[in-house]
Amino acid sequence: MAIIEGYHMPDELYYHKEHTWVRLEGGNSVRVGMNDFFQREAGSVVAIDLPDEDDEFSQGETCGKIQTGKWIQKVLSPLSGRVVEVNKALEDESTLLNEDPYGKGWIFLLEATSLEGELPTLLQGEALVAWLKGEIKRAEEHKKK
């Protein structure tokens, strides 16, 4: 697991610039959740608006909302596809997003329709490190205001 300036960012995941992560589950199935940086900056999650099973989304399209004590954040689909399962446990325990963002706090399972074409647009490795450091800097500057 990569730890970038204190944030846990598992190496096997792919990351979208709007803070979702993707875990390959086999075939075209991918599990989606929010990254550690998001959950720590957002604070305690108080509610989540999950997508519905069988909903179809394009990459970057809004597919849900997360409400915290600080703000309401749109959840953007990191890849195009159809939702095949949602994490219903989040309806009762939305703080799972904070407690275990890469495990029990996953949001939905997607059957990706353009996996080979879109997966390379997500971040990993050095590109992830550079992007996250930029996000950290932006957050620190925002807190100074």
> Exposed/middle/buried for 9, CB within 10 Å: 0-12, 13-18, 19+?
buried
Q: In percent, how much of the chain has pLDDT > 90? A: 88
Tokens of 115: 């996996």
pLDDT digits (tens, 9 = 90+) for 71-117: 899 999 999 999 999 999 999 999 999 999 999 999 999 999 999 99
Question: What pLDDT sits at residue 102?
Answer: 97
Residues in the chain: 145
Question: What pLDDT sits at residue 2?
Answer: 83
pLDDT digits (tens, 9 = 90+) for 39-52: 999 889 999 999 99
DSSP, collapsed to helix, strand or coil, labels residue 135 as helix
pLDDT band at 143 (very low <50, low <70, confident <90, very high): confident
Domains parsed from the chain with CATH numbers:
2-131 (2.40.50.100)
- CA separation for the pair 79, 20 (Å, rounded): 10
CB atoms within 10 A of CB 5: 12
